[in-house]
Amino acid sequence: MRANFLFISATVLLALVVAIVGVVAMRVYLRYRGKMLVRCPETGKAAAVKVAAGDAARCALLGQDDIHLKECSRWPERQNCGQACLSQVGQDPQNCLVWTKVADWYRGRTCAYCHKPFDELHWHDHRPALIGPDMKTVQWSDVAPQDLPEIFETHLPVCWSCHIAKTFRRQHPERVVDRPGNRGPMGELLTGHTEEHHSSSTARS
């Protein structure tokens, strides 16, 4: 009877330890997963990196702390670098995520065309776009992550609906009728414009 009690106690204790270690490993994995943006110590420019989150989680199971990169936009040319950028990731991994950088940039801004404000973005929503000096809209997810910081300096935000409308206009100009309006140098709708959303471009039936 006593032997059974000790066996059950040891089994429960072992299961508890495994569960705790598993939770720690999962937290480490979730902490470091996803593509991140850092400033390369060598070039001073943005670089897109991925931490080997799976390796970090496995090391956590053994009580070890081993964080290293799995991918970098500067590889394979600089694959043997010292990975000094990891100090930035270690300070705040969530803030380094590409998604976090994008969401922070759009938050509080308004669409250059319809002036609809951007609320909190969600990964499963229609992804917003940007428009630059070339007058073409592009979804942020189609831009190389390491190029996003520079793109944000020169482009204006565009909502998904306006991006679709502008893309249609560019691809099928023969089906679009222009109407005069109060617009800026990039074709964006200026404040005070009284026409309805997308009234400047309507498709011919």
Amino acid at residue number 101: K
Alpha helices, H only, the chain? 2-32, 53-61, 86-91, 93-96, 98-106, 148-154, 160-171
10-to-5, 19, 20, 178 alpha-carbon distances in Å: 9, 14, 15, 78
Q: 2-32 and 53-61 helices cross at what angle (nearest 10)?
A: 150
How many angstroms separate the CA atoms of 50 and 26, rounded? 17
Whether residue 204 has pLDDT greater than 50: no
How many angstroms separate the CA atoms of 189 and 124, rounded? 27
pLDDT reported for residue 191: 54
Lowest mean pLDDT: which of 4-8, 49-53, 136-140?
4-8
Burial class (CB in 10 A: 0-12, 13-18, 19+), 6: exposed
Interval 135-163 mean pLDDT: 94
For the chain, what percent of residues have pLDDT higher than 70? 76
pLDDT reported for residue 179: 60
What pLDDT digit, counting tens, does each position of 152-198 carry?
A: 999 999 999 999 998 888 777 777 565 655 655 555 556 554 344 44
Average pLDDT, the chain: 82
β-strand partners of 117 = 110
What pLDDT digit, counting tens, does each position of 40-69 carry?
A: 999 999 999 999 999 999 888 888 888 999
Classify each residue of 131-151 as buried b or exposed e, where b means 16 or more C-beta atoms within 10 Å of its C-beta.
Answer: beeeeebbebeebebbebeee
pLDDT reported for residue 200: 41
Q: What are phi and psi of 59, to 5 degrees?
A: -65, -35
pLDDT reported for residue 194: 38
pLDDT reported for residue 205: 37
